[in-house]
Amino acid sequence: MKKFKNKKLSHSSKLWITRQNNDPLVELAKKQNYRSRAVFKLIEIDKKLKLIKNNLNIVDLGSAPGSWSQYSSKINKNGINLALDILPMKSISNCKFLNGDFTNEITQFELMKILNGGKADLVLSDIAENSTGNKNLDSMRSNLISLTVLEFALKNLKKNGKILIKTFSGVGQQDLVQKVKTSFQKHLFIKPSASRKDSKELYLYCEL
């Protein structure tokens, strides 16, 4: 294993870089011109659920650096691909990008304005809060955002619309399940193999 040595960096940063340098999916993503290994999670889920198709209105929340949008914009050639992140994102052909904080209601309003009053067929959310180092707190904060995403989807999805959303096992996940059970016809949790084993992340898929 290639270890990363740099005295100025914190222990956790060094661990992160060492892991990235030794991860075959990071290498594969580079070879296939994807901006992140995260794309393999979406590809795996898409193979199973056939979510991404042409002629859809797709909203990708927490999109940066952009691999999910790269993948979906290639398939959804004639539909609308709309991406949002609190961080800037390099442009992607056939994809509109809004730079903003999803938790801000004005940003959510701006986002839907771009769909010209239309609704979404599919909402993807890979939003993750920066880690605080406290796993319970991290799960709680991220699941709280996921709850906001669910509420947003309930207002802005078309009939039969779908949502794929990142959640974390632990604090707050039960609140999500409760919301989903009362509002969606069908739901299931998926842990794609590209998701790291030591990560608490789990994707929640729901159909209206």
Cβ proximity to ligand SAM, 55 vs 199, nearer residue = 199
Question: Cβ 67 to ligand SAM, closest distance in Å?
Answer: 3
Q: Does 192 bind ligand SAM (CB under 6 A)?
A: no
Q: Which burial class, exposed, middle or buried, applies to 183 when counting CB atoms under 10 A from its CB (0-12, 13-18, 19+)?
A: middle
What residues between 96 and 135 interact with ligand SAM by CB under 6 A? 101-103, 126-129
Distance in angstroms (rounded) separating the CA atoms of residues 143 and 128: 9
Q: Are 111 and 98 in contact (CB under 8 A)?
A: yes
Name the one range near ligand SAM by CB under 6 A: 18-26, 79-87, 149-157, 175-183. 79-87
Q: Write the DSSP symbol of residue 5.
A: -
Examine the residue annotation and report whether 166 is marked as an active-site residue of this protein.
yes
Rounded Cα distance, 164 and 41, in Å: 11
By CB under 6 A, tell whether 38 contacts ligand SAM: yes
For residue 135, with 0-12 CB atoms within 10 Å meaning exposed, 13-18 middle and 19 or more buried, which class applies? middle
End-to-end alpha-carbon separation of the chain, Å?
46
25 vs 64 by CB, closer to ligand SAM: 64
How far from 65 is each of 69, 132, 140, 181, CA to CA, in Å? 9, 21, 24, 32
Name the segment binding ligand SAM (CB under 6 A); options: 8-16, 85-93, 110-118, 173-181.
85-93
46 binds ligand SAM (CB under 6 A): no
Nearest residue to the partner ligand SAM, using Cβ: 62
Any contact of residue 36 with ligand SAM (CB under 6 A)? yes
The residues in 137-156 that bind ligand SAM, with binding defined as CB under 6 A, are none
Cβ atoms of 47 and 108 within 8 Å: the answer is no
Q: Which one of 80-88, 114-122, 131-139, 183-191 is the stretch in contact with ligand SAM (CB under 6 A)?
A: 80-88
Q: Which active-site residues does the annotation give? A: 166
Which parts of this chain interact with ligand SAM (CB under 6 A)? 35-36, 38-39, 62-68, 84-87, 101-103, 126-129
